Each structure stands twice: as C-alpha cells, then as structure tokens.
Structure 1
C-alpha cells in the first residue's frame, strides 16, 4: 500500500460520506463540542506540583485570610463556631496503650492509662506548667492552632524543656506564628519553602525568620526531633501529595468575600444617597435660573453672603403660604400651592429586591467552604425545619471530626508523647524496661483518642431514644454513646458506682428511708434486663477506650 492509499484509508476511517460530502465521524472525547479556536481562547491553568502552587500563593492568601478573620464578621463568627464544634472546652485524651509486649493484661494497661490521664490533665490545665509563656492552657492552645490553620493553612508549635519553681514538669508547649516559617527554598540545602527535607521527603528541620529584640530579622534553624525521637517542632497542615506547607481553607472564597464586600458597600452607598436626596425641586423655570436662585449672591466687597434672588423668592412663597393651611394629617383637604409647584415625597429604593437573594447566595458559598451550615454562618433559621437541621448536622459532623483529628490532635499528640517520656524517665509512671522500653515501643504506649464536645442534635429526646434503641439492638456500646455525648465511659461508670455506694450508705444510716433500692435498680438494672451487646466479651472487664 502506497503512502497516498494509507492516508486515504485513514481519512475514510475518520470521515463519513453524507449529502454535503465528507464530514467528521462522531467520536467520544473531552472538549469535543468546542471548536479549536474556542478551546485555545479558554484560559488554561498550568499543571504543576501542589507545593509550587502553595509557594506562589501562600503569602497573599494567608494575609487576606487573616485580614478577613480580623475584619469580617461572617468569617470571624464561623471560625469561632467551628472551633466550638471541634474543641469545645478542650480535647481530652483517652489513652489506649498496648502493653502486650510486656505481658500486661487489659486490667493492668487500663489502670496505668487512668493514672497517666490524670497526670496529663493536671499538666494540661495548669498554664504555668503547660504553656512556655505561662498564659494558656492546652485547650486554649488547641483552639489557637485551629485559628492559625484557618488563617494560614497550618499550625506550628514548639516543645521546649523549661524548669520552673513549684512545677514538677519541664515539658512545655508554645504555639508559633505560621508566618515565622521562612519562605526560602534551596535545592543545595534540601530546603523547600522553609522546611528541610531528608532523602525520603520527611521533615528534618525548619527554618524560621524571627525578629531579635533589636528589631533585626534573623534566621533560626530548629530540628524536627531530637536524637531520641522526642518532638521539638510540631508542624500541622492538610493538603495533597507533594505539599510541605499548607494553605488556608478560605483560599477558594477570598474572591467571594471581596464580591460580598463590594455588594454591601455599593448597596450602602445607594441607600445613603437616597436618604440624603429625599427632596427634589421641580420647577417650570429654566435650570440656569433655578441654579442661580439657589447660589449665593456676591456683596459689594466680593464676598458671598447668602442666596441672592432665592431669598426674595422664598419671601414671596412665605407670604403665600401664610394664608394657606397645608395639613396632611387631616382626613381630607386640599393643599393650595403656588402655580407650577408639586409636593413630592420620595422613598428609598435601595436595597433592591435582588440584594438579599444574591447576598445569601454568596454567604452560602462561604458557608460551604468553611464546612458550616448556612444557619451557623448567618444565625438565620428562617425556613429551617427539624429535618433540614438534622440532615445538615449529619453531613457536617464527619468534616468536623476529620478536621479535629488532623489539626489540633497532632499537636496534642506531640505534647502527650513528650509528657509521657518525661513522666516515665522520672519514674512517676512505671513501665517494664523503663525509658529504654518506652523509646522502643513509643507508638504502642502513646496510642490515644481525643474526646471533644458532644455531637450537636436538633432534638435531644429523639437522640436519646435512638441511642437507647441502638443499645438494646446490640449495635451500639456505652463507649460510643458516651463519645457522642463528649464523655468518657469509664468516668461515667466510676461516678455511677460512687453515687450508688453513697445511696446505699445513706440508706443504711437512715438518710434515705424509701426508694433507695428502686433507684439503684432503675439506674443499675440487672444484666438480664438488657440485651447483650454485640461483640461484648464474657471474660474480664471491657477494653478501655473512647472513640470519636
């Protein structure tokens, strides 16, 4: 087959013969509905690594997002709303250590975990013990890390060791401004956007640009971990493959925020104009004469002193209206005016009918990007129903849990890891093998989940009945129910046992003369009265844990 025959066969395979001659054969493909000229006219973004996009836009996006957090009521309000859902009054750990390597059973592991949790809570709730600056509790640092993530897309914390009088712990936590991280990159030093990378892509250190006490900007390099693996810098962000820095989650709506501000400013300006110019002059005289009558008249000295002919005109009007009674408050009447005069009352025509729908459209996009419901952003529950609110909470809550796990929890995990290392090294928390065993089994010993605030519900009674039904069906445990309520199931069990013992003690001594046994039976029914839970163990105590 010759060259021309081959070309002809290709053309005949791609074209069909019709009334107009050869025409393209239909085929599947992207952008096939647009002519080539239109395809080329569409602005085409550049495909590149995510870290390059972040490096180019980080400074401007972070500055605009932080400015919105400071000056935009919608953004500031929804940020605090999301913090309240993620943090509440503070995330609390529920340790689940694995001491199978040491031969411990679940009861021994649970007892050690309870003691470690109490020691950690004492450290976390003491500002002087927890914060390097002595100002914040761990809960406040967790909330500040979420604010930093919303503004800059990342949170940076340092874990120094500081001794203080009256405090038994040296471990401290300090949250650092994200913009302190350098924007520099160097292939020679393996420095990528302020982060030193090892051969596997893991962060080995960080380069900070800080101001000295003399106001000079200096560079400071810090390692990510020390020689024993203890965290020194905790850097938290969320992103895609290849990123080494984060970017604000508000980046997609920064333009929308500007559009909303422009809409609000334009509407306010129009409203003010209509409010100021609420009266108009309608006259049969030429415009030049009317303006001349309203303009000041020059005196003999050349100075402007009051309106000229306008005063004479007003004097004539005053004489006319002294004999005419205009009263719009009477039930009926006729107003007599000078010839050519019209009484016109103007009303404001702004905002127009399209303002609120379009403003709400922009606010819905902002709420969607923030991960909140429209009602949470605006506080406007008009038209909301129980079903719509319940559906909104159900769709929003998984995102809250995801952000909680990947923003404040990693910093809290780093603090917990450093705290347990110090406690074991000092002998306050004993484990087989001491500090050497901790360094060898750190991941197994530091296993923990973090409890946050209760899951919001639209109707607490219906939610309680649903929990009761799932528990009787054996598909939901007390641990899961307590997790939904933001409580530790073991704390609940211990408190119930204590209250039961107190009721029995008061019954014995006559403090409760009737109903004591009935109360115990109602609050602590016999096991046979409750269906067995799915997967419940018949040997020993139930495993520890709390889940979110």
Structure 2
C-alpha cells in the first residue's frame, strides 16, 4: 500500500459520514435553542399554548370569564372588598372636571378663559349630581354610573354607556331642564355575535377601516328580547354609544375580558383552602376528647363466636363435645361481660356537655384530650401569598386586599403606594374618565346650542373647535400617604426646589389648584382684613407671633 495514499472510508447507504476530528481538539458544540430548552419536561408540555389573534382569545373565553368573575364578586367576601378598593382608588367619591380648553384663537384672554371654565365646571357639577337631569331613568348620578362602570369592567373587562336626548314634551313632563341623558348598560346586553359578511364582530358593526358604526344591543320589551341597533355617533359626530375598555391589555380585540381572569384559579384555591381548614377545625373540635379502650373490635367478637367450631388441641384428654361445650361457655361469659360493660358505659360514660358530672370509665380505659392542629404553620404564609397574587393582578396593595397591617412600616407602605398608584391613575384614564368625558361633551354641546352657557362665536364656533374646547382632565381621589406630615414636608421641599408646581401638588391631593388658591384668598380676606386675625397661611415666627403678641393677647414690655 502506498504510504501517501489516504484511507478510504466506507459509508453505508442512508448514513451520514463521520466527521473527522483533529487529534487533541474537543468536539464542536451542538447548537441549542436559547429559549424553551426544557420544553420537553412535563411542567411545560402539559400546558396547551397556541399563537393566534387576540380577538379570538377574548371571544372564546370572555363569556365564561365574566360568569366566573360575577360569581366571585357576589359570593367571595374578600374579592368584593377588593372591588370596592379598586373603585375607591380609581373614582373615589367622584371624578372632578378640570377643563383645559385652548381658547387663544377664539377671542378669549386668560381671565375670560378662567371665568368661562369655572362657569362650565359649576354647571356640570350641578348636572352630574342630579339624577333627574343626567340619568334617563332618573335614578343614578354620574358618580354612581362611574362606580357601576368600574364594576362592569372588573366583571366583563368593559363598560357601555348609551346617550339619548329627551324631547321638549318629555322634559316638561319630568320638569327637567336638560335633554341629554345617559344610561349604563351591562355588557352582556351586547351579545358577542359575529357575521363577517355584514361587518359584525362580537356585536359591533365596523366599516372597511375597522371603525365602529353601530352596536347591536338586545333589549327586553313587553317580556320579549329584541335586537336594537344604535349608531355609534349621531349626525353631528357626537358619540351615542360610549364603549370603554383597556384596549392595551388585548390589542386587536373588539371586546374586553375580565381582568380577574388570570386569578380565577387562585381565588378558587383560596376558597378551597379555607373550606378544608374549616372542615378540619370543626372535625377536631367535635372529637376534642375520646375514650381509649382496650375492648376488642367487631372482628374480635366474630372470632370469639366462631371459636367454638374449632377442633380441640392435641393435649385435650376429653371428648370433642366436652371441648365445644367448654369453649362455648367461655365465649358466652365474655360476651355477657362485655355487653354489661357497654351498657354501663352508655348510661354512665363521659359527657363533656355537662359541667358538673363525674364520669366513670371501665377497667383499662383512658380519657384522651386532643388539641386542634388547624390551621397549621403553612396556612398563613400560603393564604397570604394567594391574596398577594390576587392583589397584584387586580391592581391594589397587598395590605388593602388582606387588611393585615402586621409588620407594615412607613417605608413599606410608601413603596406599596408608589407601585400601585400609577396603576390606579392609568385605570382611571382608561375606564371612568372616557365615560365621563363622553357624557360631558354631549351635555356641553346641548348647553351651548341652547344658549344656557355663553360662547364667543356661538354654537358654530364651538362645533368647529369642539376638540379644543372640550379638552379636560378628570381628577380622582388623592394619592394615599403613610404619614401626612412627612408627605406635606416633601411637597414643600419640591416646591421650594422648583421640582414641582402647585398644580402638580394639588393634583396629587385630588384638588384643583385654582379653586384652592381662590378659596385661600377668600379665607384670608375674611380672617385678616375683616376680623383682624393672624394670617393662617403664613408661618408664625415664634409663640408671640410676628407682632410680638403672646398667645393670650398680652404684649411683652418694650426694652428700655
């Protein structure tokens, strides 16, 4: 064989040739996926996960999710409490209108703009707190509708408001001044029907660009269910159906789904844990004391009764009949003795329900007291973790969800508030604020059209600049604080250092800075100028005050 010839490698059909690895080098690493490396394990393989459009996920799960959410909200106390906390954090007692219109090109100076805004805000407040004026049924105020919309959001993931306009005859009959009326409609009254040929997606008609044109509601009239199509907007472009939902949670979805859907399993686990713990505790309480007896069981009695049928031992020197007679007599005597003892225990046993009685136990018996072992050491940590998971999903603090403030400190409470408060503000801007804004715009359109609220240029100027005129903010409750004194000092430092403004600080407190400033001016005029009292809005320079007056009105003698 030639020394320079290379060895030939025989390769069988269907096999891959072996890769030659240089001597002294490590084999090349096999490429592996960077994600889901353990996808073949049982933990992940049992989870059925697919990729599809968001509206399909919502469409298939929304009905069942809303039914479970309503069930938990109606029958689970701590979930109902969390719902109340969500409403308090998001809406509070009301959302206050804070108009921010751009009227610079409509002939308004800053003073006229401020005066006009105060007029509109005052009229809106009177309208929104009068059920006869704002509600079609004359029962609910606007703040109550916003509360109901938040409950619909927790159960359905969306809320609906329908606007209507009463005729002059109806206004005269009800003795009301305005015609704009709002109605809160439960989302299940908009069945999730789909007909792509008609452009109907989950109960909403859309045009070629995907914009809603009509909503197909189901209304009950005269005992029958009838479909009723309501246009999304009227001829003037004012919304007639207000559909609010968190569209960022499920991009591409036409309808919403309950934000509680990810924690249904957690809520059910907590209820199951509570039920099992209660059942164990009751069982241990019922059997808190037992009698430990050496008496034989039912099987032992049966064994004694069949003892007489056995053959005699080899050492027995009598007859078989004598053996059976002797055994039968012993068995009969034992059964009689135990029967008498059982009857005695029935009549004179231990009864823990009686306070003053001496019980007698049989020979060899012992009264044993049991200590309840429920809940165990793992109950509190596990149940607290379930509540924390639910609170984190819904968007409330863990302490407010559990009402357990053990171990809470100023720093921990501030950290909780700093984490949850942006979620509450975001939720406010997504759900109740757009609903209130839609109602306010329709109301303001009527008020300017009828001349009850003046506007330069009349209704035509307002209609041409509707977006600029109606631009507003909705202020909710104040941000929670762990220590009001420390929070006030922090606000003073921010203002002093130029890191904040009076508008920002008042917004954190749920107030309007202009109203606060004007109220302070009115109070100072009455207190200082009319009554001659010290200015309460200035820092006192010592106990004697700025003029040297003591607390009791006396003055210190002047130095010689």
TM-score (norm 2): 0.79
Rounded to whole Å, the distance in 2 between the matches of 1:199 and 1:470 is 51
- Tell me, yes or no, if the aligned pair for 1:320 and 1:338 is still in contact at 8 Å: no
Aligned to 1:530: none
Deviations 1:31-63 (A, max 9, x none): 34556x979945441111111111100110001
1:224 aligned onto 2:252: no
Where does structure 1 lack aligned partners over 5 or more consecutive residues?
Answer: 293-307, 323-327, 330-334, 524-548
- Tell me, yes or no, if the aligned pair for 2:131 and 2:138 is still in contact at 8 Å: yes
Rate the CA distance shift 1:284–1:177 in 2: closer, same or farther, 3 A: same
Task: Give, in angstroms, the shift of residue 203 of structure 1.
Answer: 1.4
Aligned to 2:341: 313
Rounded to whole Å, the distance in 1 between the matches of 2:56 and 2:183 is 29
Deviations 1:67-121 (A, max 9, x none): 1111111110011011111111100110011113323222222221111111111
SS for the counterpart of 2:491 is helix
Name which of 216, 238, 241 aligns with 1:233. Answer: 241
Task: Give, in angstroms, the shift of residue 237 of structure 1.
Answer: 0.5
Rounded to whole Å, the distance in 1 between the matches of 2:73 and 2:389 is 17
1:413 aligned onto 2:437: yes
Task: Give, in angstroms, the shift of residue 484 of structure 1.
Answer: 1.3
SS for the counterpart of 1:81 is helix
Rounded to whole Å, the distance in 1 between the matches of 2:32 and 2:17 is 15
- Tell me, yes or no, if the aligned pair for 2:233 and 2:240 is still in contact at 8 Å: yes
Aligned to 1:528: none
Name which of 65, 79, 85 aligns with 2:83. Answer: 79
1:194 aligned onto 2:218: no
TM-score (norm 1): 0.81
Query: Mean alpha-carbon deviation: is it higher for 195-204 or for 48-57?
Result: 195-204
- Pairwise mapping of residues 75-474 of structure 1 onto structure 2 (< 5 A)? 75-162=79-166, 163-165=170-172, 166-214=175-223, 216-238=224-246, 239-288=249-298, 312-313=340-341, 316=344, 338-474=362-498
- Tell me, yes or no, if the aligned pair for 2:39 and 2:45 is still in contact at 8 Å: no
Q: How many residues align?
A: 482
Rounded to whole Å, the distance in 1 between the matches of 2:181 and 2:337 is 81
- Pairwise mapping of residues 505-520 of structure 1 onto structure 2 (< 5 A)? 505-507=529-531, 512=532, 515-516=533-534, 518-519=535-536
Task: Give, in angstroms, the shift of residue 473 of structure 1.
Answer: 1.0
Aligned to 2:509: 485
Where does structure 2 lack aligned partners over 5 or more consecutive residues?
Answer: 1-10, 303-335, 541-560
Rounded to whole Å, the distance in 1 between the matches of 2:18 and 2:453 is 81
- Pairwise mapping of residues 36-51 of structure 1 onto structure 2 (< 5 A)? 41-51=45-55
- Tell me, yes or no, if the aligned pair for 2:165 and 2:180 is still in contact at 8 Å: yes
Aligned to 1:29: 34
Task: Give, in angstroms, the shift of residue 275 of structure 1.
Answer: 1.8
Name which of 57, 68, 75 aligns with 2:72. Answer: 68
SS for the counterpart of 2:243 is strand
- Tell me, yes or no, if the aligned pair for 1:31 and 1:39 is still in contact at 8 Å: no
